[in-house]
Structure 1
Amino acid sequence: MKRKIAAIFAADIAGYSRLVAEDEEETLRRLASYRQVTDDFIAKGGGRIFNTAGDAVLAEFPSAVEAVRCAIDIQESLRTRNMAYPPSRQMAFRIGITIGDVVERDGDLLGDGVNIAARLEGLAEVGGICVSRAVHEQVVNKLSVQFADIGAQEVKNIPTPVHAYMVAMRREDGTYSIPQVKKPAKASAQPTWMWPVAVTLVSLAAIGAGGFLYFTKLETQAVKVATPAINVSPAPSAVPAPTAAPTAAPDSKAATSSPPPAPSPPPIGSTEKFAAANVPFVSDKTRTSLAGEYAGARDFKAFSLNTGGFSAWVTAQPSEEAARTAAVEQCQKRADAAQSPRKCELYAAGDDVVYAHGKPPVPPLPWVRHDAVTEQPFASKDVPLTRDAGKTRFENIYVPGKKTKTIALGPGGAFFFFTAMDSVDEAVRRSLESCGAVAGVPCMIIALDDNFVVPIPTTLRVTGFFKAAGNAMISPEARDDVARRIADATSGWNAVAVGAAGRPGLGLKAATEQAAVNAALADCVKRDGDCHVIAIGPFSVGPH
């Protein structure tokens, strides 16, 4: 047997047994896909998987820095993949990392280092990372990562408490979460005389809470019964209308996107009246046709669409149910014929909007700003936040695609692009609407025709969208000022650096990316120490 010091990485899937019980085949299929992601990142970071069991993965790294960097890459990549599933079906890892003395036997590793990594994984949040103090000391000054000290934690089968830290994970908007302590350190023992008092108080509280919840439940049920579901059925015409053939709305000339869409919010009732100018995803020509043919048609009628821009409507149907069914079926046939992965859904029944998901999120205007200083020729390899498969799609479809064409990108890596559009305004609008529906948050136009229209960093790795107002790395009292100054700097390259105390330094309106970076660092060191760049242009950044 051989002893050595190694960084031990332990991961497993939160709620894995429940996911298997609900849908075994689908869970196992996705596990294989997600394991491919984790295995690739582990290998890329110089790690070695030494044990697996079901959903669990144990790996060793020669460097704590590489282990933490690998864990962050895995969590961010899987977070993007999970956006395609409803919360109840998302498959998220918890990861624990420590440095310890281990024994190697037949390729497997044994010892306290392995056990502690597994216990730290149990402390981690769903989709989060928990590390030991030894790892924190190795990493804190080498990676642009924030930690939350959760103190000494008593864990199963480890005789002494383990001092642990949570890694602050990046949100979709580029800001960082504040980790929550999952298991607090064991409290000191209370005097024996307090137990009867505590039991009495807990019992009284339970009785009171039970009574409150019981009556609250009755009130909630009464409200549900008293509130009718919105399902407007227009009165039939005095003269029966003839049955018309379904009318398929014209579709976009070319459209494509990132992998399957983000989970849709739960259905909600809508009181909005149909207006063709407000219909998302579809072309301007389709809106014009809807304004004339659909809006002026007699009941029963319905209109269906999907986020890729496919749509269909029917009019003069024998009943509302028939209209709803025919509209969705016709739309889905068109989508299937074009191999669109997006599901068609009912948007309007009669003159009422019944679409459950509301308007897709889009950013504030202007959606495109041209700046000769920062615009550069489009290159698929330079598109940030996207994996190799996405870059290949850009190269094979977007680059040779006809103008007008645009790419919209989300902060988590979701994207959507259209080619051969009739106008810039239509291309930009549709890309942002479809990308926003996929990502669940506003996207950004990064390319128009053959140029990047936002600054694309190359000196550092893009990690998300930068928003100064909510950025936890900047001291609270400075955030509004940083946001204001960046908003005023509408041309040239901008960069933001921060120091250990969160005091920011800015490099604004620079002629080059490197000049902005240098200016931000120089400004930061005037008022803080250990400065590093956290944003370039509209993006948050970190080390390559």
Structure 2
Amino acid sequence: MKRKIAAIFAADIAGYSRLVAEDEEETLRRLASYREVIDDFIAKANGRIFNTAGDAVLAEFPSAVDAVRCAIDIQESLRTRNMAYPPSRQMSFRIGITIGDVVERNGDLLGDGVNIAARLEGLAEVGGICVSRAVHEQVANKLSVQFADIGAQEVKNIPTPVHAYMVAMRREDGTYSTPQLKKVAKAAPAPNWMWPLVVGVVCVVAIGVGGFLYFTKLETTQMSSTAAAPGPIAAPSPSPTPTIASKAPMPSPMPTSTPTQTAAVTPTPMPSPPAASGGNFPADMVPFISERLRTYLSNEYAAAGDYKAFALNIAGFTGSALNQQNEEAARNAALDQCQKRADAAQSPRRCELYAVGNNVVYAHGKPPMPPQPWVRHDTVTERAFASKDFPMLRDQAKVRLENMFVPAAKSRSVALGPGGQYFTVLGASTVDESARRSLESCGAFAGVACMIVAVDDVFVVPIPTLLRITGFFHAATNSSIVADARDDVVRKLGDGMGWNAVAVGSLGRPGLGLKAADEQTAVNGALADCVKHDSDCHVIAIGPFTVGPTN
């Protein structure tokens, strides 16, 4: 056995027993899929899983910064995956992180550090992260993360309260949630010498109140004996009927044509066929779909005047219903058609209503997209597509690309997300359509903009081979580069053509190798430029990717 200090990460699923009881096979299948995501993020952050049990994961990290960054990446990735499921079937993790002295035995870790991480996980919100004060002190000035101090918390089997902080998680619109404060640990009991004083004060107050009530009753009795017989007592006026203006409306049990619900106090009228919907249906704004389907929405769907609805999911499956008997029938028919198509293709994504009539009811808005051009051809860096060389994917995903993407008809593309998410579109009418659709679906999965890596038979971005690819490179926010040099790096990288590399030294001063004819020349140029301004230089980026040692 040996002792060491480590950042301990504990995670498990909120409401896992209920999910299993409702649908065991589907829950276990999704758990395996979600665990792949978690395991990948932990490995990329230099963490190590040392124990698992059912839905629980325990991991150690060499630093608190790595642990918190990994936890945020996991929660944001899983939040995106959960968007495809109704709230009752979403699989959300709670995560707790602390720094502690632990004992390692046969690869497992034991000690208070592990126990406290598990208790912090129990304090976390569903889909949230809770950290100890020691972690907060390590991370506060190193990551652009917001925290809420929830104070000292009493937790099971830990003798002293644990001071904890909640990490504010990013919402869909880019704002940050306000964590719900947990119950703060009870204050220490009052010392024994105070009890006589408290009892004395209570007695004095009781005597005073008793005297007041006695004399008040006496005075009231005397007044009653001389008063005239009382007149009839007025009945209380009835409460006014609640109106929408005076009281928040209750949601109607029947769906309506817009997300706004009517008041429940008003009887639901029988539906009548609507007039032509006001305004044109915004077909150009619909994500995930082909141009052919967009034309259908612009023409046949938009022109239809009876009850109609359109449904889709983020994998690109759709369903539409025109000329239905009522609005509810249109909704159900569109969703049913879309879900049958998705199920036939074994897509795990659930369909949602995009429009009812010509009114868009889709809650998620447009997925995040990178700036155009989405595809940039450069003969210097392009090379033949090979599934085994695709960056940031597990071997199983590379096999799927080999079996599905390689033999598929053109136009086809693969979009990659910064967390290893990817999406392919096959047999599109044009390269632009294929790129747009794969970027939209990948962006919806990842929650951030993705990048087109391959089109048809070629990689359209430089794929480093000298160093291991670890993620996406964004010079403007890269913490390895000193802040006052980042804008200059962005400017010099410019159009990104040719092979480009970035190196930094111990002071964070960058060196650049620009528009080289090959990868090795770019790396050599970056290192040579770095040593002019800094020491202990190493390469951190090649092309659009961050890189690290090959292990």
For the pair 1:84 / 2:84, whether they are aligned, the reply is no
Contact 1:331/1:344, CA 8 A, preserved across alignment: yes
Higher RCO by CA contacts (8 Å cutoff, separation 6 or greater): 1
Residue 511 of structure 2 corresponds to 505
Inter-partner Cα distance in structure 1 for 2:248 and 2:143: 45
Query: In structure 2, what is the equivalent of residue 417 of structure 1?
Result: 424
Deviation of the 1:492 alpha carbon: 0.7
Look up the match of 1:443.
Answer: 450
CA shift, 1:56, in A, is 6.3
Aligned twin of 1:19 = 15
The answer to whether the 8 Å contact 1:505/1:520 transfers is yes
Q: Distance in 1 between matches of 2:345 and 2:59?
A: 43
Structure 2 Cα separation of the partners of residues 537 and 81 of structure 1 = 28
Q: Structure 1 residues 347 and 516, CA, compared in 2 at 3 Å: closer, same or farther?
A: same
Cα distance change on mapping 1:288 and 1:381 into 2, 3 Å = same
Say if 1:128 and 1:453 are closer, same or farther in 2 by CA, change over 3 A. Answer: farther
Query: Displacement of 1:325 after TM fit?
Result: 1.4
From 510, 527, 530, give the equivalent of 2:533.
Answer: 527
For the pair 1:460 / 2:486, whether they are aligned, the reply is no
Runs of 4+ that moved beyond 3 A: 3-11, 18-49, 51-60, 64-83, 86-89, 92-102, 107-110, 113-133, 145-148, 154-159, 221-235
Counterpart residue number, 2:264? none
- Partner AA of 1:12 in structure 2: A
Q: Are residues 1:303 and 2:310 paired?
A: yes
Secondary structure at the aligned position of 1:360 is classed as coil
- Aligned-pair distance for 1:473? 2.3
1:458: how far off?
Answer: 2.1
Q: 1:321 to 1:78 in 2, by over 3 A?
A: closer
Matches of 2:251 and 2:38 in 1, distance apart? Answer: 48
TM-score normalised per structure 1: 0.65
1:76: Cα distance to partner?
6.0
Is residue 276 of structure 1 aligned with residue 283 of structure 2?
Answer: yes
8 Å contact kept, 2:16–2:55: no
Q: Following the alignment from structure 2 to structure 1, what is the Cα–Cα distance between the partners of residues 349 and 375?
A: 27
Work out whether 1:231 is the aligned partner of 2:250. no
Q: Paired residues, what number?
A: 447
Displacement of 1:309 after TM fit? 1.9
Equivalent residue runs for 1:463-482 within 5 Å:
463-482=470-489
8 Å contact 1:432–1:442 — kept in the other structure? Answer: yes
Instruction: Rate the CA distance shift 1:478–1:334 in 2: closer, same or farther, 3 A.
Output: same
RMSD of equivalent CA atoms: 5.3
Runs of 5+ consecutive residues of structure 2 not aligned to the other structure? 146-151, 160-164, 171-180, 182-190, 192-244, 259-269
Q: Report if aligned partners of 1:6, 1:101 keep a CA contact under 8 Å in 2.
A: yes
- CA separation of 1:40/1:297 partners in 2, compared to 1, >3 Å: closer, same or farther? closer
8 A Cα contact 1:8 1:59, kept in partner: no
Alpha-carbon distance change, 373 to 360 in structure 1, aligned in 2, over 3 angstroms: same
Following superposition, the deviation at residue 129 of structure 1 comes to 9.1
Q: CA deviation at 1:372?
A: 0.8
**Residue pairs, 1:51-450, within 5 angstroms:** 80-81=77-78, 83-85=80-82, 89-94=91-96, 114-116=111-113, 118-119=115-116, 225=249, 231-232=257-258, 236=273, 273-450=280-457
Q: 1:377 to 1:96 in 2, by over 3 A?
A: farther
Give the corresponding residue for 2:232: none
Provide structure 1 residue ranges, at least 5 long, that are not aligned to the other structure: 137-144, 149-153, 160-165, 172-181, 183-191, 193-220, 242-270
Provide the C-alpha distance between the structure 2 equivalents of 1:377 and 1:477, rounded to a whole number of angstroms: 38
**Does the CA contact (< 8 Å) of 1:406 and 1:448 recur in 2?**
yes
Q: Secondary structure of 1:428's match?
A: helix
Counting aligned pairs with the same residue, the percent is: 51
Deviation (angstroms), 1:543: 2.8
Larger Rg: 2
- Are the equivalent residues in 2 in contact too, given 1:274–1:351 (CA < 8 A)? yes
Contact 2:287 2:366 in 1 (8 A): yes
d(CA) in 1 for partners of 2:354, 2:37 = 36
| Structure 1 residue 519 displacement after superposition | 1.8
